[in-house]
Structure 1
Amino acid sequence: MDSAVFQHFRPEERPFIERINDWRNQAVDEYRPILTNFLDPRQIFLVESVLGKLDQSFQYWQFGGYNQAERRRVIFAPGYYTPETADYQLQLFEIKYPQKFAELSHGKILGTLINSGVDRSQFGDIITNGHDWQFFGVKNMTDFFTEQISKIGAINVRVEAISDMDVLVPSNDWLDETLLVTSFRLDTIVADTFKISRQRAKDLIEGQRVQVNWTVVTQPDFQVDLLDMLSVRKFGRVQLRAVLGQTRKERFKIQVGTLRRQPLSGQK
């Protein structure tokens, strides 16, 4: 791979970029499709950026179980190949729990799955319609998810493998917002999104309460890039979706998607 490619991305992303090249070469050399685990939005952006415009001898496809999926599996394949849904080896799971007496949340489900020892790349989006909960996983993990996940927090649950025809229509609480920011520093984006001081944002970051692409980042000056997903504990999530330009005062106009944590009933 041309070393000039790496200068456009973060140094810590180099291993993943090299892996993209390996996947492509494997698909071409072995003349067969290569299927990844679930990739996050930033990783998918890297795939699209690195591969660019492709010739007829090679293509790639992506799918995460439904059209709006954030996390998706990618198939790298020779030009002759056109994937079907089954080729992505996805399984939809539904979480059964006593809805009259308990409440689940995205954070509780995510924490339970990760703490069970499952790598984040083994399952995709966690979706809800407001009361029912489902998630997508890699098909060969079906027995693990259905047999090993029996509690989420203190709530007894049962995980069932169901048909992808029964996927929920997710309730969409994401909001598109436009912000003016002085830089792409992590503390700046967190502060301006959640309307808190830069010092408060810095304290949250250094206190290990902020993740970028599901990895804790403790450097306030970390540079946020396109499609990065930021999670701020007890505040919510924000994704940088577009850079719209720069003002005369040299502030950047950006478009973000925000998912703000709503207080529970009775809390302030």
Structure 2
Amino acid sequence: MLDKEEQLLKKRISELAEHCYQRDIRSYTDFLTLNEQTIFHSMKRTLPPVTWLMNGGYETAERKIVCFLPSYEDETADLPISILKAVPASPRFSQDLTHRDYLGAIMNLGIERNCIGDILMNENGCFIFCMEKMAGFLADELKMVRHTPVVCCPVTQAEEVAPNFETVSGSVASPRLDSVVALVFKTSRSKALPYIEGEKVFIDGRLCISPGQQLKGGEIVSVRGLGKFLYTGALNETKKGRLFVSAEKYR
């Protein structure tokens, strides 16, 4: 992120936190990228003493908002995030639509990218996480993705929403970041290294540039250009002293 953009983001976050603290009312950001979340984590100790939540609408979301809470709300407060389900109107005649197709169609409606969170693909269509203020417009206006008519409507049952995973397992000398990234994405440690040193790897939304970082079970690793996975941990140790580990790679 450019220095000017970073300073503007820090100023915005500081103003939102101060607004919540001084007026005791809720304030929140739009969806933050992984880089932006790292910036928030770097400055949160300098903010006024208010309770905050970071959430993207589901447990393992990548894009998330930061919500500053007034004194009368706690961490169970509902967040201003809506979930929409978009599916082809006639699946039999639908094109093979991708994440990029749905995102492109949304952007063509004039919606800012930071108003849209994750888009989760499934076998029928996708789930779209968005700022609550945009949900009605998006549901009314998203009618076509590429050349395929689609139907877009709110989802009230959050449990419907779940990412698809592919289980990946294998042996590593240790749960080092570079070793596990290489295993999950079927590459070598030397080829995984440029992603880490190039500031393209995030663990639970925080930038990590240390190849030797030891992963812990339950951490979510995002690698720009490759994908994302949930590291589930070591299953056992092989006779040669290597660890047999497992991860759930997002499809």
**Aligning the two structures, in what range does the TM-score lie when normalised by the shorter sequence?**
0.5 to 0.7
| Bigger RCO of structures 1 and 2 (CA < 8 A, at least 6 apart) | 2
Residue of structure 1 in register with 2:122 after alignment: 129
Q: Is the 8 A contact 1:240 1:256 kept in 2?
A: no
Aligned pairs, number? 197
Q: Mean alpha-carbon deviation: is it higher for 38-47 or for 159-168? A: 159-168
Task: Compute the RMSD of aligned alpha carbons.
Answer: 3.4
| Deviation of 1:256 (Å) | 5.8
The match for 1:61 among 50, 53, 67 is 53
Distance 2:167 2:209 in 1: 15
Q: Look up the SS of the partner of 1:71 in the other structure.
A: coil
What's the TM-score once normalised by structure 1's chain length?
A: 0.62
Q: Which amino acid aligns with 1:167?
A: E
Q: Could you say if the C-alpha distance between residues 153 and 245 of structure 1 is closer, same or farther in structure 2, counting changes exceeding 3 Å?
A: same
Contact 2:199 2:208 in 1 (8 A): no
Pair 1:76–1:244, CA change in 2 (3 A): same
* Identity within the alignment, %: 19
Aligned to 1:217: none
Structure 1 position 129, deviation (Å): 2.9
Matching residue of 2:86: 95
**1:168 equivalent among 154, 161, 170:** 161
Q: Which residue of 2 aligns with 1:155?
A: 148
Matched residue, 1:227: 202
Partner of 2:210: 243
Shift, 1:182, TM fit: 11
The residue type paired with residue 50 of structure 2 is F
Equivalences for residues 1-268 of structure 1 within 5 A: 11-12=3-4, 13-52=6-45, 57-78=49-70, 81-86=73-78, 88-97=79-88, 98-102=90-94, 103-172=96-165, 177-178=181-182, 179-180=189-190, 189=195, 224=199, 227=202, 241-245=208-212, 257=223, 258-259=226-227
Amino acid at match of 1:51: K
1-structure distance, mates of 2:139, 2:67: 26
| Structure 1 segments of 4+ aligned residues over 6 angstroms from their partners | none
In structure 2, do the counterparts of structure 1 residues 241 and 111 end up closer, same or farther at CA, with 3 Å as the change threshold?
farther
Contact residue 95 and residue 160 of structure 1 kept, 8 A: yes
Gaps of at least 5 residues in structure 1 are 1-8, 194-222, 229-238, 247-254, 261-268
Contact kept, 8 Å, 2:87 with 2:151, in 1: the verdict is yes
Change (3 A) 1:181 1:165: closer
Deviations 1:188-220 (A, max 9, x none): 54xxx9xxxxxxxxxxxxxxxxxxxxxxxxxxx
SS in 1 for 2:20: helix
Distance apart, 1:224 and its partner CA: 3.2
Whether the 8 Å contact between 2:26 and 2:70 is mirrored in structure 1 is yes
**Counterpart Cα distance in 2 of 1:74 and 1:244:** 28
Segment drifting more, 148-157 vs 158-167: 158-167
CA shift at 1:94, angstroms? 0.7
1:44 Cα deviation (Å)?
1.6
Conservation of the 8 A alpha-carbon contact between 1:93 and 1:161: yes
